[in-house]
Amino acid sequence: MLSVAEAQRRILAVISTLPSVETFISGSVNRVLAEDIVAGRNLPAWDNSAMDGYAVKASDVTGSSQRLRVIATIPAGACEVPTLLPGTAARIFTGAPLPEGADTVMIQENTSIDGEYVTFHRAARHRENVRQQGEDAKAGSTVLSAGRVLSPGDINLLASLGRSRVSVYRRPKVAIISTGDELVEIDGPEPGLGQIINSNVYALAAAVQLAGGVPVITPPVPDNPESIRNAFLSARSADAIVTCGGMSVGDFDYVRDVLRELTSDEYGFWKVAIKPGKPIGFGTLGHCALFGLPGNPASAWVTFILFVRPSLLKMQGHTMVLPLPRRARLAHALKAGGARQNYLRIAAYRDASGELWVDASRNQSSGALTSIANADGLAIVAPSAPAREEGDSIDVLLLNTRVDRHS
């Protein structure tokens, strides 16, 4: 059996980053920048006031009761700005351009007004409350580098530079194919005995979306090799195909055989030391990466998180693609690990001191849907890990934000 880490390594060695595309910045958050962004202008473009107050020349306000005549008012958005003569001040508001002849803004809290005169209660400090042209970003400087995952703050910067479009890596199109004679459509007639709704396809589509991909849901495919082969071949224009079901050694598990037949042998592997999820497959069909996941909902979810999600992230130009474990304390004793790396569904919470605790005492059956729905993440029990006591630490993958919201 392959270790989880080795399986991840082999898959990621084959996955490559997709080409870049131009996109509007409004759709670029969390996407990976594919170009360096060089400022085409200064930020700010001109000296301006950081506060509401009075624009002055600092050398005109030397004492603690200096009085100057106010010769103009400059609101934010002012297009014409008067020149300040020596010995005068201008009323100015936050963001307004500093007038020629001024170098400093005195905040209004330290002034008193008497008709058209303003008296300053203290001496000016040269350039105080002035945002200088280019102090934030200089024209010609690189402000964002390729490879960066765009944040709302980055998007503000791009917009301020007048960049409405940027080059980012393309989102992968991911076809999701479920196989199984027992599967029926969600909006069809009430499922009869032996039939279940094709639920994995919706969960996998949601997981693809969260990973930045574009899911394409296809109807369930019956358990026969020809239908499975046709489904794969007609989806091969996607960047990835994710199948679930039919990977085991049961009499009706044909996906494995079709995957073997259609993809090149060197990548396929069929037994990973993981629980839930042991039988999984991987290969390529032309440019399309093919992931064969097991059908049990928990197995499909865990193997998606460990093998498919990192691949989809790599396709989009991300470099930190593997889920990052963090340490937590166990709310109860846990028995020693077995032959496979076990991923236990956990409830996670923080105690009064902010420490993270996890409880893995819920139903770990690979078909149990409520325990997947309620899982805050997965605790990792390595093969042959020693038994643990309550309070011992354990590696966990936190997979939703509920735990942070609830604490």
In terms of Cβ atoms closer than 10 Å to its own Cβ (0-12, 13-18, 19+), residue 368 is middle
- Choose the stretch contacting ligand AMP; rule: CB under 6 A; options: 62-70, 94-102, 240-248, 344-352: 240-248
With CB under 6 A as the contact rule, the residue among 199, 218, 364, 374 that binds ligand AMP is: 199
From the list ligand AMP, Mg ion, none, pick the one residue 178 interacts with, judged by a Cβ distance below 5 to 8 Å according to partner type: ligand AMP
Are 115 and 70 in contact by the 8 Å Cβ rule? The answer is: no
Q: Could you write out the three-class secondary structure of 138-179? A: CCCCEEECCCCECCHHHHHHHHHCCCCEEEEECCCEEEEEEE
Beta bridge partners of 288: 285
Cα separation, 291 vs 270, whole angstroms: 11
Judged by CB under 5 A, does residue 245 bind Mg ion? yes
- Nearest distance, CB of residue 266 and ligand AMP, angstroms: 24
Q: Which is nearer to ligand AMP, 60 or 253 (CB)?
A: 253
Q: Is 199 helix (H, G, I), strand (E, B) or coil?
A: coil
From the list ligand AMP, Mg ion, none, pick the one residue 212 interacts with, judged by a Cβ distance below 5 to 8 Å according to partner type: none
Judged by CB under 6 A, does residue 246 bind ligand AMP? yes
Q: Which two tokens stand for residue 250?
A: 């049961």
From the list Mg ion, ligand AMP, none, pick the one residue 3 interacts with, judged by a Cβ distance below 5 to 8 Å according to partner type: none
Q: Which positions from 161 to 180 touch ligand AMP by CB under 6 A, shown as an x/- string?
A: -----------------x-x
- Nearest distance, CB of residue 245 and Mg ion, angstroms: 4
Judged by CB under 5 A, does residue 180 bind Mg ion? yes
Judged by CB under 6 A, does residue 181 bind ligand AMP? no
The residue number whose beta carbon is nearest to ligand AMP equals 295
Q: What one-letter code names the amino acid at 89?
A: A
Sheet strands (E) in 186-314: 196-197, 214-217, 240-244, 274-275, 281-285, 288-293
Beta bridge partners of 53: 92, 107
Are 55 and 102 in contact by the 8 Å Cβ rule? The answer is: yes
Q: Which is nearer to ligand AMP, 172 or 180 (CB)?
A: 180
How many residues bind ligand AMP (CB under 6 A)? The answer is: 21
The residue among 292, 314, 77, 335 whose CA lies nearest residue 212 is 314
Name the packing angle between helices 225-234 and 255-262 (round to 10°). 50
Judged by CB under 6 A, does residue 97 bind ligand AMP? no
- Nearest distance, CB of residue 15 and ligand AMP, angstroms: 24
Query: Chain centroid to CA 294: how far?
Result: 26
Q: What one-letter code names the amino acid at 176?
A: I
For residue 289, what are the CA distances in angstroms to 63, 221, 311? Answer: 74, 19, 9
Q: Which is nearer to ligand AMP, 85 or 196 (CB)?
A: 196
With CB under 6 A as the contact rule, the residue among 25, 37, 118, 183 that binds ligand AMP is: 183
With CB under 6 A as the contact rule, the residue among 106, 130, 231, 244 that binds ligand AMP is: 244
Judged by CB under 5 A, does residue 294 bind Mg ion? no
With CB under 6 A as the contact rule, the residue among 37, 90, 201, 208 that binds ligand AMP is: 201
Judged by CB under 6 A, does residue 215 bind ligand AMP? no
Cα separation, 97 vs 189, whole angstroms: 68
From the list ligand AMP, Mg ion, none, pick the one residue 294 interacts with, judged by a Cβ distance below 5 to 8 Å according to partner type: ligand AMP
- Nearest distance, CB of residue 247 and ligand AMP, angstroms: 6
- The footprint of Mg ion (CB under 5 A) covers 180, 245-246, 295
- The footprint of ligand AMP (CB under 6 A) covers 178, 180, 182-183, 196, 198-201, 244-248, 250, 253, 294-297, 367
